[in-house]
Amino acid sequence: MTKSIEEEAALDVMEVASAPPVAKDLVLEVATPLYPTEDEGAVSRAIWTMFPELEFAVGKGRMMGIGEGPASLARFRRGLREMMIRDTARSMLLDGIGDGTLAFSLNKQSAVARVPNFSTGGAPLGDIEVTIRTVDPEAMAIWLCELDED
SS (H, E, C) the chain: CCCCHHHHHHHHHHHHHCCCHHHHHCEEEEEEECCCCCCHHHHHHHHHHHCCCCEEEEECCEEEEEEECHHHCHHHHHHHHHCCCHHHHHHHHHHCEECCEEEEEEEHHHHHCCCCCECCCCCCCCEEEEEEECCCHHHHHHHHCCCCCC
Q: Can you give the residue ranges of every domain in the chain?
A: 20-144
Domain 20-144, second-level architecture: 2-Layer Sandwich (3.30)
The mean per-residue pLDDT over the stretch 4-26 comes to: 86
Percent of the chain with pLDDT over 90: 46
pLDDT tens per residue across span 42-87: 889 889 988 989 998 999 899 999 999 999 999 999 888 888 778 8
Q: What are the tens digits of pLDDT across the range 82-95?
A: 887 788 889 889 99
pTM assigned to the model: 0.89
